[in-house]
Amino acid sequence: MIILRSSQEKTIIFHPKLLPTIAALEPKLTKDLPPLLTAATGIDAFTHCLEAFFAPGFHPLADGIALEGIRLVLKNLPLVVKDGSNLEARGQMMLAASMGAAAFQKGLGMIHSLAHPLSSVCNLHHGLANALVLPKSIDLIEGSNLNSEQKKRFNRVLSIFAELDLAQEKLSTSCELFFKKLGIKFGLKNHGVKKEQISLIAAKAFKDPCHQSNMIPVSEETFRLVLERAFT
Ligand SMILES: [Fe+2]
User: How far is the centre of ligand 1, averaged over its atoms, from the C-alpha of 66 (Å)?
Assistant: 14
**d(Cα 188, Cα 175) in Å, to the nearest integer?**
17
**d(Cα 143, Cα 101) in Å, to the nearest integer?**
28
User: How far is the centre of ligand 1, averaged over its atoms, from the C-alpha of 166 (Å)?
Assistant: 23
User: How far is the centre of ligand 1, averaged over its atoms, from the C-alpha of 41 (Å)?
Assistant: 8
Report, as an integer, the average pLDDT of 80-92.
Answer: 98
Confidence of residue 11 (pLDDT cuts 50, 70, 90): low
The reported pLDDT for the residue numbered 4 is: 52
User: How far is the centre of ligand 1, averaged over its atoms, from the C-alpha of 68 (Å)?
Assistant: 17
User: How far is the centre of ligand 1, averaged over its atoms, from the C-alpha of 43 (Å)?
Assistant: 9
The reported pLDDT for the residue numbered 164 is: 98
Confidence of residue 111 (pLDDT cuts 50, 70, 90): very high
Under 8 Å between Cβ of 74 and 161? yes
User: How far is the centre of ligand 1, averaged over its atoms, from the C-alpha of 130 (Å)?
Assistant: 7
pLDDT surpassing 90 at residue 18: no
**CATH classification of 23-229 is 3.40.50.2000, yes or no?**
no
Torsion 156-218-114-10 (CA) sign: positive
Percent of the chain with pLDDT over 90: 90
User: How far is the centre of ligand 1, averaged over its atoms, from the C-alpha of 116 (Å)?
Assistant: 9
User: How far is the centre of ligand 1, averaged over its atoms, from the C-alpha of 44 (Å)?
Assistant: 5
User: How far is the centre of ligand 1, averaged over its atoms, from the C-alpha of 53 (Å)?
Assistant: 14
Higher pLDDT, residue 73 or 16: 73
**Residue 13 forms beta bridges with which residues?**
3
User: How far is the centre of ligand 1, averaged over its atoms, from the C-alpha of 104 (Å)?
Assistant: 9
User: How far is the centre of ligand 1, averaged over its atoms, from the C-alpha of 94 (Å)?
Assistant: 14
User: How far is the centre of ligand 1, averaged over its atoms, from the C-alpha of 133 (Å)?
Assistant: 13
Query: Who surrounds ion ligand 1 at CB < 5 A?
Result: 44
Report, as an integer, the average pLDDT of 135-159.
Answer: 98
Question: What are the pLDDT digits (tens) for 42-66?
Answer: 999 999 999 999 999 999 999 999 9
The reported pLDDT for the residue numbered 1 is: 47
**d(Cα 202, Cα 139) in Å, to the nearest integer?**
18
Confidence of residue 23 (pLDDT cuts 50, 70, 90): confident
Neighbours of 85 (CB within 10 A): 11
User: How far is the centre of ligand 1, averaged over its atoms, from the C-alpha of 47 (Å)?
Assistant: 7
Confidence of residue 17 (pLDDT cuts 50, 70, 90): confident
Q: Which residue type occupies 186?
A: F
**Residue 12 forms beta bridges with which residues?**
4
**pTM of the complete model:** 0.93
Higher pLDDT, residue 42 or 2: 42
Under 8 Å between Cβ of 55 and 142? no
Under 8 Å between Cβ of 189 and 133? no
Under 8 Å between Cβ of 184 and 132? yes
Question: What are the pLDDT digits (tens) for 174-185?
Answer: 999 999 999 999
Percent of the chain with pLDDT over 70: 94
